[in-house]
């Protein structure tokens, strides 16, 4: 062995020896003074009550355990979606949607840049979003665990996330609105995803002075057609309905009894335009002058027909049903609703529509049946200034319930007729009976609750059990971290007569508005991709590269690299280009093992990416700065992760290489080779022992272990190949090359041993049975 550079094998062996010694030392030094604590003594030491312990027992998920529900929360100004488990409230993932996110390489690799580029507006990159309302795809009115949709309130857009891999696949830009809020909501079978305007503006982005507000400014609602087969929204088959400039707010689709209809509330039917700086009363006064606003009741299924019949106009290439058509065809009806409402929620059976006015202490329950009767009888109280029929509130109302101050949003229980409504001003959540109009229970919230969520709480089949309060202020609930406080999601047990607070979870990413929570068993995400998948399109990438097919192709000034990633090397390990070349590096992660992600970055070139098993993704840049730029894998993927490296060499224009600039030569000898082979034989003995243990147990009963065994077998197969190469070189007396191949052989053995040991530990912990062979 040369003295210059110990072989990787020798270094790794050293590392194992050190860690083993460390463990031995720690065990030996464990002082007897560390007495066992009892539950009682821990309670005393930490000042915990019986109540606290009960809450802990209801939320604690033991190590390795899973949560019962998975929640998808909007991430507010972060432009992301936050995924967490219920009841543990452990954060599982942030899904990047409207903004670049380096870990997932979203907005860094070419494939995801293409998704973000779909969200460009007026020729501009929009690198953030104000995500408000996630919606899960539904089948027969219940979540099916396939897709998630989320809106961007600031820049009217909707994104599609595929729950097959929890990645954002599509962003669509509203062709007609300047802002939005009432999205995303999915219809019973996800035929359409809804998006409603928030702040009125001329449709299509034209200019009009505020003096022409009533004539030129418009609200509206868009029905985005969802193509489930393709997993994408289809702009060609989508349409909007023009609405009055009433600040449409939130929406909900009808279901079961109200199937085919949708509901959208509004909050500034005064059509006030503000202007405090011009001596006029401010927006907040002008927009809350009247006692009521309007609930928009829309027959969307009929609207689809109206569009098919060619009765829509085109604005920016998008079909819009104008208000006069909507009135004539009987598509839109208005019903007065309590002052400044926020949100509208359809009951699980679809028979009632719940609306709360922030400035009215009553929550209103409308009867869909009564609404239909009024429409059928042509029984209207009049028309609004745009010719839309108004249904008399009393004739549509089922009941009115005083729940408390500042009622906002409503969710439903698995128990029939039971709802939960947030009380923003009171800082409480109310449990009530919407059929009989009775308040049942209230619980204080810390502080100023906005939305709330129950499990499957907006579907035809709510699951009850838990409620999460999404609070606007945290104030004193957590360790202070400066003037910008985390958000606070509070978990509440709703399975008993009295609601009980279980847990406070700080969320430090942005202000979540709405959450949807699904039975975890309905989610079936993949653990790996088919080799060569462009994950953003779901198709096999033309740049897919298999082991042995790696190459660097030059075409004029374009250099294209087809490379691979696998523990623990990047192929190619050297990329040489000329100053000014355009470089695209396509990489494929060849791993089949669970969680074996590799990263890739090139120093100083702002190049970064992430490759989950099977993924093909690409990074492109112009090599405009000459020099030496190391690249490496950014995920600690194996004991030899640090060695997962390479060099980008950018030769300066006009550079002439001189004699002697050859690669330094290593000179391994036969002694080095023999030593490595001895190590390998010993390692094989360890592997054989582990294999013997695993196969002596009923490991096939554990799918996780079966997957580990597959992975280990794969690694051992590679070891076989490397061993053959080593022996071939040794037979020729090429001791240097033979030693390197023997080192590679050992690396595969170590990886197999590592996986095998994980499987063994798993079986031991699960108390796997002995089986006769
Ligand atoms: S909204 S609470 Cu989009 Cu209710 Cu914020
Ligand atoms: Cu791959 Cu570190």
In this predicted model, what pLDDT tens digit does every residue of 117-155 receive, in sequence order?
999 999 999 999 999 999 999 999 999 999 999 999 999
Q: Does residue 1 carry a pLDDT above 50? A: no
Q: Does residue 25 carry a pLDDT above 60? A: no
CA of 134, nearest ligand number:
1
Please tell me which residue, 9 or 441, carries the higher pLDDT value: 441
| Closest alpha carbon to 450 in 468, 465, 466, 434 | 468
In this predicted model, what pLDDT tens digit does every residue of 759-768 receive, in sequence order?
898 898 888 8
Ligand 1 pocket check for 341: Cβ under 6 Å = no
CB 412, CB 418: distance < 8 Å: yes
Ligand 2 pocket check for 641: Cβ under 6 Å = yes
Ligand 1 mean position, distance from CA 379 (Å): 34
12 pLDDT band, cuts 50/70/90, is very low
Q: Does residue 252 carry a pLDDT above 90? A: yes
What's the whole-number mean pLDDT along residues 268-281?
85
Q: Whose CA is nearest to atom 3 of ligand 1?
A: 132
Ligand 2 mean position, distance from CA 598 (Å): 5
Q: At what angle do helices 670-695 and 8-29 cross, to 10 degrees?
A: 50
Q: At what angle do helices 735-765 and 670-695 cross, to 10 degrees?
A: 20
Q: Does residue 540 carry a pLDDT above 60? A: yes
Which two three-digit tokens encode residue 140?
């027969």
Dihedral of CA 37/40/41/44: which sign?
A: positive
Ligand 1 pocket check for 296: Cβ under 6 Å = no
Ligand 2 mean position, distance from CA 611 (Å): 10
357 pLDDT band, cuts 50/70/90, is confident
CB 500, CB 527: distance < 8 Å: no
| Closest alpha carbon to 614 in 592, 595, 633, 632 | 592
% residues pLDDT > 90 (the chain): 80
Please tell me which residue, 281 or 191, carries the higher pLDDT value: 191
Average pLDDT, the chain: 92
pLDDT value, residue 638: 87
Ligand 1 mean position, distance from CA 129 (Å): 15
Residues in the chain: 773
Closest atom of ligand 2 to 633 CA is: 2
Please tell me which residue, 384 or 288, carries the higher pLDDT value: 384
CB 494, CB 59: distance < 8 Å: no
Dihedral of CA 212/214/216/222: which sign?
A: positive
562 pLDDT band, cuts 50/70/90, is very high
CA of 180, nearest ligand number:
1
Ligand 1 pocket check for 157: Cβ under 6 Å = no
Closest atom of ligand 1 to 470 CA is: 2
CA of 599, nearest ligand number:
2
Ligand 2 pocket check for 633: Cβ under 6 Å = yes
What's the whole-number mean pLDDT along residues 361-369?
95
739 pLDDT band, cuts 50/70/90, is very high
* Chain-centre distance for alpha carbon 651: 41
Ligand 2 pocket check for 536: Cβ under 6 Å = no
DSSP 8-state assignment for residue 770: B
In this predicted model, what pLDDT tens digit does every residue of 162-203 receive, in sequence order?
999 999 999 999 999 999 999 899 999 999 999 999 999 999
pLDDT value, residue 31: 55
Which two three-digit tokens encode residue 215?
């004539």
In this predicted model, what pLDDT tens digit does every residue of 257-271 receive, in sequence order?
999 999 999 988 888
Ligand 1 mean position, distance from CA 153 (Å): 10
What's the whole-number mean pLDDT along residues 507-511?
95
Q: How far apart are CA 419 and CA 429, in angstroms?
A: 10
Ligand 1 pocket check for 134: Cβ under 6 Å = no
Ligand 2 pocket check for 635: Cβ under 6 Å = yes
Ligand 2 pocket check for 598: Cβ under 6 Å = yes
Closest atom of ligand 1 to 342 CA is: 4
Please tell me which residue, 299 or 709, carries the higher pLDDT value: 299
φ/ψ bin of 624: left (φ > 0), alpha (ψ from -120 to 50), beta (otherwise): alpha
Ligand 2 pocket check for 644: Cβ under 6 Å = yes
CA of 250, nearest ligand number:
1
Q: Whose CA is nearest to atom 2 of ligand 1?
A: 450
Which two three-digit tokens encode residue 339?
């002052």
Closest atom of ligand 1 to 408 CA is: 4
What's the whole-number mean pLDDT along residues 328-351?
94
Q: Does residue 8 carry a pLDDT above 50? A: no
In this predicted model, what pLDDT tens digit does every residue of 402-427 receive, in sequence order?
999 999 999 999 999 999 999 999 99
Which CB contacts under 8 angstroms, 24+ apart, belong to 12-19? 12/639, 12/640, 12/747, 12/750, 13/679, 15/639, 16/639
Q: Does residue 5 carry a pLDDT above 80? A: no
pLDDT value, residue 593: 86
Which two three-digit tokens encode residue 266?
């509004």
Give 461-486 as a DSSP string.
S--EEEEEEEES--TTSS---SSSPP
CA of 645, nearest ligand number:
2
Q: Does residue 736 carry a pLDDT above 80? A: yes
Ligand 1 pocket check for 350: Cβ under 6 Å = no
What's the whole-number mean pLDDT along residues 33-41?
87
What are the b/e assignments for 733-757, b being 16+ CB within 10 Å? ebbbbbbbbbbbbbbbbbbbbbbbb
pLDDT value, residue 21: 47
What's the whole-number mean pLDDT along residues 368-394?
96
Closest atom of ligand 1 to 511 CA is: 5
Q: Phi first, then psi: what are they for 676, rounded to 5°?
A: -65, -40
Closest atom of ligand 2 to 638 CA is: 2
Ligand 2 pocket check for 694: Cβ under 6 Å = no
pLDDT value, residue 757: 87
Q: Phi first, then psi: what are they for 579, rounded to 5°?
A: -50, 130
CA of 511, nearest ligand number:
1
523 pLDDT band, cuts 50/70/90, is very high
Ligand 2 mean position, distance from CA 565 (Å): 8
Ligand 1 mean position, distance from CA 132 (Å): 7
What's the whole-number mean pLDDT along residues 564-580?
94
Q: How far apart are CA 707 and CA 526, in angstroms?
A: 13
Give 536-581 as a DSSP string.
TTTEEPTT---TT--EEEEETTEEEEEEEEETTEEESSEEEEETT-
Q: Is 553 exposed, middle or buried (0-12, 13-18, 19+ CB in 10 A)?
A: exposed
Ligand 2 mean position, distance from CA 633 (Å): 4
Q: How far apart are CA 160 and CA 193, in angstroms?
A: 10
Residue holding tokens 């494939």?
111
Q: Whose CA is nearest to atom 1 of ligand 1?
A: 513
640 pLDDT band, cuts 50/70/90, is confident
pLDDT value, residue 271: 85
771 pLDDT band, cuts 50/70/90, is confident
CB 593, CB 711: distance < 8 Å: yes
% residues pLDDT > 70 (the chain): 94
Q: Whose CA is nearest to atom 1 of ligand 2?
A: 598
Q: How far apart are CA 748 and CA 723, in angstroms?
A: 10
Ligand 1 mean position, distance from CA 702 (Å): 44
CA of 185, nearest ligand number:
1
Ligand 1 pocket check for 358: Cβ under 6 Å = no
Identify the three-state secondary structure at position 676. Answer: helix
Q: What angle do CA 310, 314, 315 make, to 5 degrees?
A: 160
Closest atom of ligand 2 to 597 CA is: 1
In this predicted model, what pLDDT tens digit does every residue of 612-629 receive, in sequence order?
999 999 999 999 999 999
Q: How far apart are CA 669 and CA 702, in angstroms?
A: 45
Assign 3-class secondary structure to 139-197: ECCEEEEEEEEEEECCCCEEEEEECCCCEEEEEEECCCCCCECCCCEECCCCCEEEEEE
Ligand 1 pocket check for 569: Cβ under 6 Å = no
Pairing type for strands 627-632 and 598-602 reads: antiparallel
Closest atom of ligand 2 to 641 CA is: 2
Q: How far apart are CA 456 and CA 69, in angstroms?
A: 9
CB 444, CB 415: distance < 8 Å: no
Closest atom of ligand 1 to 472 CA is: 2
In this predicted model, what pLDDT tens digit does every residue of 76-120 receive, in sequence order?
999 999 999 999 999 999 999 999 999 999 999 999 999 999 999
Ligand 2 mean position, distance from CA 507 (Å): 30
CA of 589, nearest ligand number:
2
Give 268-315 as a DSSP string.
-TT-----GGGTSPPHHHHTT-SSEEEEEEEEHHHHHHHHHTT--EEE
Q: What angle do CA 73, 80, 174 make, to 5 degrees?
A: 100
Closest atom of ligand 1 to 450 CA is: 2
Q: How far apart are CA 247 and CA 544, in angstroms?
A: 49
Give 688-734 as a DSSP string.
HHHHHHHHTBTGGG-HHHHHHHHHHHHHHHHHHHHHHHHHHHHHTT-
């Amino acid at each position: 062995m040369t003295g210059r550079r110990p072989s990787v094998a020798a270094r790794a062996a050293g590392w194992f020896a050190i860690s083993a010694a460390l463990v031995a030392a720690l065990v030996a030094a464990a002082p007897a003074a560390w007495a066992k604590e009892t539950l009682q003594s821990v309670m005393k030491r930490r000042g915990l009550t019986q109540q606290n312990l009960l809450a802990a027992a209801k939320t604690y998920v033991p190590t390795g355990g899973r949560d019962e529900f998975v929640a998808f929360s909007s991430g507010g100004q972060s432009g992301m979606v936050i995924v967490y488990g219920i009841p543990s409230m452990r954060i599982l993932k942030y899904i990047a949607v409207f903004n670049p996110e380096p870990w997932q390489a979203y907005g860094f690799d070419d494939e995801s840049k293409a998704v973000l580029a779909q969200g460009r507006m007026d020729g501009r990159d929009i690198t953030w979003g104000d995500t408000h309302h996630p919606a899960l795809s539904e089948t027969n009115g219940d979540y099916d665990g396939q897709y998630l949709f989320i809106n961007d309130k600031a820049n009217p857009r909707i994104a599609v996330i595929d729950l097959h891999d929890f990645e954002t696949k599509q962003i669509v830009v509203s062709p007609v609105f300047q802002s939005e809020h009432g999205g995303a909501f999915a219809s019973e079978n996800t035929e359409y995803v809804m998006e409603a305007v928030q702040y009125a503006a001329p449709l299509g982005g034209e200019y009009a002075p505020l003096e022409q507000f009533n004539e030129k400014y418009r609200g509206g609602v868009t029905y985005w057609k969802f193509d489930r087969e393709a997993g994408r929204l289809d702009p060609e088959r989508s349409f909007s309905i023009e609405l009055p400039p009433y600040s449409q707010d939130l929406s909900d689709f009808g279901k079961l009894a109200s199937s085919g209809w949708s509901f959208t509330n509004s909050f500034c039917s005064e059509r006030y335009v503000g202007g405090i700086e011009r001596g006029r009363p401010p927006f907040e006064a002008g927009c809350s002058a009247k006692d009521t606003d309007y609930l928009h009741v829309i027959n969307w299924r009929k609207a689809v027909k109206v569009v098919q019949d060619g009765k829509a106009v085109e604005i920016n290439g998008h079909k819009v049903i104008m208000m006069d058509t909507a009135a004539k065809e009987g598509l839109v009806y208005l019903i007065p609703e309590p002052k400044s409402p926020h949100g509208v929620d359809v009951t699980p059976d679809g028979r009632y529509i719940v609306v709360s006015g922030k400035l009215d202490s009553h929550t209103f329950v409308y009867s869909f049946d009564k609404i239909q009767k009024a429409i059928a009888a042509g029984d209207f109280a009049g028309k609004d200034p745009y010719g839309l029929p108004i249904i008399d509130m009393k004739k549509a109302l089922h009941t009115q319930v005083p729940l408390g101050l500042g009622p906002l949003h409503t969710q439903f229980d698995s128990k029939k007729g039971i709802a939960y409504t947030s009380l923003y001003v009171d800082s409480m959540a109310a449990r009530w009976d919407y059929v009989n109009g009775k308040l049942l229970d209230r619980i204080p919230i810390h502080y100023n609750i906005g939305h709330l969520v129950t499990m499957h709480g907006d579907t035809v089949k709510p699951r009850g059990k838990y409620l999460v309060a999404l609070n606007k202020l945290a104030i004193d609930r957590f360790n202070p971290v400066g003037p910008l406080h985390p958000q606070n999601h509070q978990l509440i047990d709703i399975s008993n007569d009295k609601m009980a607070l279980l847990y406070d979870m700080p969320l430090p990413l942005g202000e979540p508005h709405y959450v949807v929570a699904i039975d975890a068993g309905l989610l079936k995400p993949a653990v790996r991709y088919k080799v060569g998948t462009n994950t953003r399109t779901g198709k096999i990438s033309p740049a897919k590269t298999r082991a042995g097919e790696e190459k660097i192709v030059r075409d004029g000034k374009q250099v294209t690299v087809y490379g691979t990633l696998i523990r623990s090397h990047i192929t190619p390990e050297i990329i040489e280009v000329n100053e000014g070349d355009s470089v695209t590096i396509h990489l494929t992660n060849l791993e089949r093992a669970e969680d074996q992600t590799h990263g890739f970055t090139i120093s100083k070139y702002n190049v970064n990416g992430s490759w989950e098993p099977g993924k093909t993704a690409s990074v492109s840049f112009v090599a405009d700065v000459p020099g030496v730029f190391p690249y490496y894998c950014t995920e600690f993927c194996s004991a030899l992760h640090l060695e997962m490296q390479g060099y980008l060499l950018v030769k300066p224009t006009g550079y002439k290489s001189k004699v002697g600039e050859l690669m330094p030569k290593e000179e391994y000898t036969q002694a080095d080779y023999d030593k490595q082979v001895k190590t390998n034989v010993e390692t094989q003995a360890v592997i054989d022992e582990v294999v013997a243990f695993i196969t002596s147990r009923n490991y096939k009963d554990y799918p996780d272990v079966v997957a580990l065994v597959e992975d280990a077998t794969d690694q051992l197969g590679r070891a076989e190949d490397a061993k053959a190469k080593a022996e071939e070189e040794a037979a020729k007396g090429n001791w240097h090359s033979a030693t390197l191949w023997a080192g590679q052989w050992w690396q595969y053995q170590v990886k197999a041993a590592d996986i095998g040991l994980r499987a063994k530990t798993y079986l031991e912990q699960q108390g796997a049975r002995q089986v006769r062979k």
